[in-house]
Amino acid sequence: MHALAGRDCSDCPGYLVYTKKMQNIPFYCAALLYLLSAGLPEKWRGFAFAGTLLTWLLHGVALARHTIAPEYLQLGFAVMLSATLWIAVAAYLIENRRFALDGLRRVVLPIAAVAVLLPALFPGSLIPLMGKSPLFSWHIALSTLAYSALTIAAFHAVLMAAQESRLHRHASSTAQQGWFANAIDRLPPLMTMERLLFRLIGFGFVLLTLTVLSGVFFSEELFGKAFKLEHKTVFTMLSWVLFGVLLAGRQWRGWRGKTALSFTLTGFTTLLLAYVGSRFVMEVLLHRGLA
């Protein structure tokens, strides 16, 4: 009946393209569902939460299928950003059970809708696992969790700044209401937001510390070469110092407000340059794979 009947088509170019497109369908579906969940009105919070949870599960499955295989990992800046927003949505789902974070839903989910599509557009590079230490997978997992927690903290800090700005405006200037302004107005009080911020930073700092330690002490076993100072290492260490100073300043000097915002965003930017930024340059601009 068909010219390819009874033949293994796994090496056929058309078959590979078709398979790749099919693998990307869950990413497209998750992006659409994130947008639908973000657009639901506040009175449908229960449906929004259920829809977000189901979409988060779909996002996770799609990301796992794309990234993890028995003999290799497929990693890159797009996978890292997508995983970061996946964990950001998880944090929203957890905290939403304790606080009214409907405004955060309208901000986080559209960003997640964009991030979930990135691995389909920029697949990344294949990293063979054969001969790698089990520590390698743990190092990748720790670093992903650390970057995700601190990314959420950066978003959180920006929302706090916008929230404080609106509180200081005159009543006459609040007549113009956009979707972002409405989302900000639905956030918890600033004191609650501040507690959440430093909880996120503390969690991310612990994970980043473990990431740095695993990279320093197990560099040769993880990557097959002795530890050396590269731009990635320098930016990561600088970010670790900034977040450490912020937490110490919070504990001993009571730092908050603009000081906390400045340290959080600066630390996040250096961390972004350390991995996601460098991977973007290597993969997209220079068309080179992961080292």
Q: List, run by run, the mean pLDDT of 10-residue segments along the chain (291 residues).
A: 42 45 83 91 84 94 84 78 86 76 79 90 76 74 83 84 73 56 73 85 91 77 62 84 92 82 87 67 50 46
Beta bridge pairs of residue 128: 72
Contacts for 2 with CB less than 8 Å, ≥ 6 apart: none
CA–CA separation, 39 vs 267, rounded Å?
32
Query: In what side-by-side order are the strands of the sheet with 72-75?
Result: 68-69, 72-75, 125-128
Q: Which helix (H) or strand (E) holds 73?
A: strand 72-75
**Closest CA relative to residue 204, chosen from 95, 116, 68, 91:** 91
* pLDDT score for 7: 42
* pLDDT score for 18: 42
The torsion defined by the Cα of 77, 116, 144 and 47, in degrees rounded to 10, comes to 160
* pLDDT score for 1: 40
